[in-house]
A and B are shown apart, each in its own frame.
Chain A
Amino acid sequence: MNSLSWWLWSILLAAAAIRAGTLCIGFLLILIFTLVVAKHKKSDEWGNPFKLTMQLALAATVVRLFFAILIGTPLPGKTLISLPQLELPNWLAGIRVGGDVTRERLISVINESSKFAVVLIAFGAASALSSPVQVIKLISGRIYLFGVTLIIAVSVLPQIVNSFNRVQSARRMRGLTKLRLNNFRNIITPVLEESIERAIDLSAAMESRGFGYSKNPTRYRPEKFTLSDLLIFTSSIYLLIFTPVLINSFGALLATTLFGIFALSPLFLIRKQVVLA
């Protein structure tokens, strides 16, 4: 499926979740993203972006909770825990650390954090589901020269990692084993030199092939848009628009179920792709 579709799907779903504002939908979405990524993700050459974002989202939530419990402005309501209070001096703005932690406070923080977490996870899912080169081609469009810069960076990256490995190997064979700060310079210098040589060769080769001379570079394989892309896009848009209606009229459970079904559409992709454009 098209990389653009994955991104739109993720963003629209995240937007819908924020509009809905309930915790249930938030959790549901996280579950959905996990399922879809597990089924459709492309091979991870650079580690697992989705796992990384999950960890980030968790960390962000924990930090937010931490700050809220310790120094949040208390919301009136039912007190759950009572922490010892500590008044900080004036030059620290007279903040009251600790104090009563109310249920309303906790719920409000969790709601806020979940919105942020959903956005993060949506982006992580989209990264895991699309290929960097496709994304670059999509967004660079008419910005050809800069697009090629990005493509070069992505293509050359494995070679540079390989440079580092080779230099490390060579150092080991020279008897130098300890990786101290001191020795960093002896690793970065050969890699930098090699990268510069590569850039010089590359620019001569590109120049010889005619790079930068034509005013209208074209695309060999324009991205295909299939029926699946259209259907998923449409269902996400409807979801976004009708979320408040869903929540208000049908009650939380039913709304959640309907929401889930719509959002899960990528799991049921049509086998035979009908190309639209």
Chain B
Amino acid sequence: MMLRKTTFLLLPISVIGLIAFTWPLYLPESKLIFLRGENAKWLATFILPLAILAFVLEINFGSLDSKSVALLGVFAALICALRLLGAGAIGIEPIWFLLILIGRVFGPTFGFTLGITAIFISGLITGGFGPWLAFQMMAAGWIAMMAGFIPRKISGNKELLILCIYAAVATQAFGILMDLQLWPWLIGADSQISFVASDSVVANLHKFFIFHFATSLAWDIPRAIFTIALIVLTAKPILISLKRAEFKLGVKATAREKRQMAV
């Protein structure tokens, strides 16, 4: 079972992903045509799905079994349903809290896989394909993955507090990442707040944060508040359900229990 199993490629493709997100900040002037300014965004858009594909190949031929396949499929459908229903009813997507909680219980690898699967499925279903899809997949994967690194031992109110802090940080990070990705596409290379290839990281960051400022107010802060609220309200029962599920899916009886049996 994929529970808490780490994979070899998770780190390298995360690094590639990070570069694919943040290249506008430090892209150097280049003679190569596909690294020049605007064209780099196409390059990033092609490289990211390949990185994700590499990860999928690794887990497909390594960690996946009937339990993880069934759980991933069902959870991905659940998150997709939340997205559809939420967008329809209230205009916001109540999915981040669930990704965080599932990642926390089932571990980084499972969480990352769930993130990319859920976003891919909802893109497939709603037709919302665009250059952003692979980036959204990776970012969602990261949100679930990082939650998986919270130590298992922590529980009770301390757990809840850490989850809330994490939610605040993660949703902000998501906003920043998606804006970084969108920046070259929406603004292009010829605006006063566009990235400039040869500029310093600081100068580019400055321009970026001006771009990001507006969207942050409109989307990131409500998203953070909404997610934290949902975690506060639902963490307890959901964590109980998820931990029960983990228990029910366990296979091997411990040695102690085997000895009890023989008595």
A and B touch in the complex (CB under 8 A): yes
Binding site for B on A (CB under 8 A): 46-47, 49-50, 52-53, 56, 60, 63-64, 67-68, 71-73, 75, 92-93, 95-96, 108-109, 112, 116, 119-120, 123-124, 126-128, 132, 135-136, 143-146, 148-154, 156-157, 159-161, 164, 179, 181-182, 184-185, 188-189, 191-193, 195-196, 198-200, 202-203, 206-207, 211-212
Q: How far is the CA of A68 from the CA of B98 in the complex (A)?
A: 38
Q: How far is the CA of A182 from the CA of B234 in the complex (A)?
A: 9
Interchain Cβ contacts under 8 Å between A and B, 19 examples: A47-B126, A52-B128, A63-B186, A64-B186, A71-B191, A75-B190, A93-B192, A93-B206, A93-B207, A109-B188, A116-B185, A123-B127, A135-B124, A152-B73, A153-B121, A156-B74, A164-B85, A195-B75, A199-B75
Chain A residues with CB under 8 A of B74: 152-153, 156, 160, 195-196, 198-199, 202
Q: How far is the CA of A109 from the CA of B190 in the complex (A)?
A: 9
Chain A residues with CB under 8 A of B57: 143
**Closest CB in chain B relative to A84 CB, distance in Å:** 17
Q: How far is the CA of A67 from the CA of B81 in the complex (A)?
A: 34
Chain A residues with CB under 8 A of B229: 181
**Closest CB in chain B relative to A114 CB, distance in Å:** 13
Choose among A126, A153, A159, A200 the residue that contacts B117 (Cβ–Cβ < 8 A).
Answer: A153
Q: How large is the interface on B (under 10, 10 to 19, 20 to 34, 35 or more residues)?
A: 35 or more
* Additional A-B contacts beyond A196-B244, A203-B249 (5; CB < 8 A): A93-B207, A152-B74, A153-B77, A189-B234, A195-B77
For the complex, is B35 an interface residue (Cβ under 8 Å from A)?
no
Known: A161-B85, A184-B233. A148 touches B69 (CB 8 A): yes
B69 touches A203 (CB 8 A): yes
For the complex, is B9 an interface residue (Cβ under 8 Å from A)?
no
Residues of B103-143 whose CB lies within 8 A of A: 117-118, 120-121, 124-131
Question: Most chain-B CB neighbours within 10 Å: which of A71, A95, A143, A160?
Answer: A160
Choose among A95, A136, A193 the residue that contacts B192 (Cβ–Cβ < 8 A).
Answer: A95
Q: How far is the CA of A163 from the CA of B263 in the complex (A)?
A: 44
Question: Most chain-A CB neighbours within 10 Å: which of B69, B118, B192?
Answer: B69
Chain B residues with CB under 8 A of A160: 74, 77-78, 81
Binding site for A on B (CB under 8 A): 56-57, 59-60, 64-67, 69-78, 80-81, 84-85, 89, 94, 98, 117-118, 120-121, 124-131, 185-188, 190-193, 206-207, 210, 229-230, 233-234, 237-238, 241-242, 244-245, 248-249
